[in-house]
Amino acid sequence: MNWISKFIKPKIKSLFKKRSLKNEETLWTTCGCKNLIYKEDLKSNLNCCPKCGAHHKLSCKERFKIFFDNGEYETIDAPVPYDDPLNFVDNKKYTDRLKTARKLTQQDDAVSIATGKVQNIKVVVGAQDFRFIGGSFGAASGEAFIAGVQHSIENKMPFIFFSCSGGQRMMESSIALMQMSRTSLAVNELKKNKIPYIVVFTDPTTGGVTASWAMLGDILISEPKATIGFAGRRVIQNTVRETLPEEFQTAEYVKDHGGIDLVVERKYLNSTIGTLLSVLLKKTEIESKTETTNVVSIDKNLQSAS
C-alpha cells in the first residue's frame, strides 16, 4: 500500500487507477442519514457514522476489540446443545439457517463470551451478533450466558453484557422461552455473590431479551438512539390506540422515563464502565463488612413508613 492508496479515497483514486464497479461498491456503505460513507472511515470511527454519529452494529469480535483495554481478550467456550431439537421448518429449515449464520459470523451461536480487562479491572463480557438470526436467544445462547456467569462467579469478575437481539429464537419455541428464566436465575446468582452486573443496550434490544436478563443489570447503559422495547411500536400503537411520540422506544426516551440509567457513546464505554466498576467493587467490599448495620437501618425505615 503506497501513500496514494492509503490516504486518497477511492473516487479520487479512480483517476489514477481504473477499478471495477464491483470493487468500488464494496468500499462504500450507507447510513440512516442517507450519506454515502467510506467503509474505512466508518471502521476507524468505531463503526459510528462520521456524519450523523449513528452507532452501527458490531460483530462480537469488533465489540470486544473496541471495548477491552488494548483490544486484548480471550474467548470463553460454552457447551453447544443439540441443534434443532424440534425439527423446525418455516420457509427454510432451521438447520440451514444455522449453517448460514455460522458461516457468516464464524460463531457457533449469536452469543459470544470473552474475558479481559477494562480500565485494568478483570471482567467477563458477553456480546450478541445481530447477523446470527437477528441475535435471537436460544438454548446455545443460554448456555453461553450461563458459562459467562459461572466464570464471573468463580473468578470474582464483574459481568458485562452487550445486548443486541430481536428476542427469543422462535425456531426453538418454548426451549428458547425457557432461557428467560434460566438467565434470570443466573443473574440472581451473580447478585447473591455480590458480583456487579452491567448491561449495555445496543440497537436493537427487544422481546424476551429485554424481558429477562437485559433489564436485570445493576446498572443499565445504552448506546445512543438504540431501540429498546418489548413489543414493537406498531403492536403497541394498535393496542393502546394512541399516537406514540416520535422518540418512543429510543434509548434517550427510555432513560428519561426511568427505564435505564445512562446513555453513553461507544467511545466512552470503556472509561465509563471502568469508573463505575471501580466504585461498585469498593462498595461491595464495604457492604459485606457492614451488612448487619444496613439491615437494621432498612428495618427502621420500614417501621417509620408503616
Q: Which residues here bind Zn ion, judged by CB under 5 A?
A: 31, 33, 49, 51-52, 54
Nearest residue to 227 via CA among 196, 194, 193, 260: 260
Burial environment of residue 66 by CB neighbours within 10 A (0 to 12, 13 to 18, 19 or more): middle
Nearest residue to 167 via CA among 158, 156, 176, 155: 176
- The least CB distance from residue 292 to Zn ion, in Å, is 54
Q: CA angle 34-39-44, nearest 5°? A: 115
- The least CB distance from residue 130 to Zn ion, in Å, is 18
68 neighbors 125 (Cβ within 8 angstroms): yes
- The least CB distance from residue 64 to Zn ion, in Å, is 24
Question: What are the grid coordinates assigned to 223, written together?
Answer: 448506546
Residue 53 or 259: which CB sits closer to Zn ion? Answer: 53
What is the three-class DSSP state of 260?
coil
What is the three-class DSSP state of 79?
coil
Burial environment of residue 177 by CB neighbours within 10 A (0 to 12, 13 to 18, 19 or more): middle
- The least CB distance from residue 37 to Zn ion, in Å, is 7
Residue 22 or 34: which CB sits closer to Zn ion? Answer: 34
CA distances from 50 to 20, 131, 136, 234 (A): 26, 23, 29, 31
Residue 13 or 51: which CB sits closer to Zn ion? Answer: 51
Instruction: Fill in the DSSP letter of residue 250.
Output: B
- The least CB distance from residue 121 to Zn ion, in Å, is 33
- The least CB distance from residue 74 to Zn ion, in Å, is 34
Residue with cell 457447551: 79
d(CA 263, CA 226): 9
What is the three-class DSSP state of 8?
coil
d(CA 165, CA 162): 10
User: Positive or negative CA dihedral for 21, 27, 31, 37?
Assistant: negative
Residue with cell 464471573: 152
Residue 8 or 31: which CB sits closer to Zn ion? Answer: 31
Residue 37 or 260: which CB sits closer to Zn ion? Answer: 37
- The least CB distance from residue 39 to Zn ion, in Å, is 13
Residue 56 or 169: which CB sits closer to Zn ion? Answer: 56
- The least CB distance from residue 227 to Zn ion, in Å, is 16
Residue 49 or 125: which CB sits closer to Zn ion? Answer: 49
Residue 54 or 147: which CB sits closer to Zn ion? Answer: 54
d(CA 235, CA 26): 36
Residue 50 or 81: which CB sits closer to Zn ion? Answer: 50
- The least CB distance from residue 52 to Zn ion, in Å, is 3
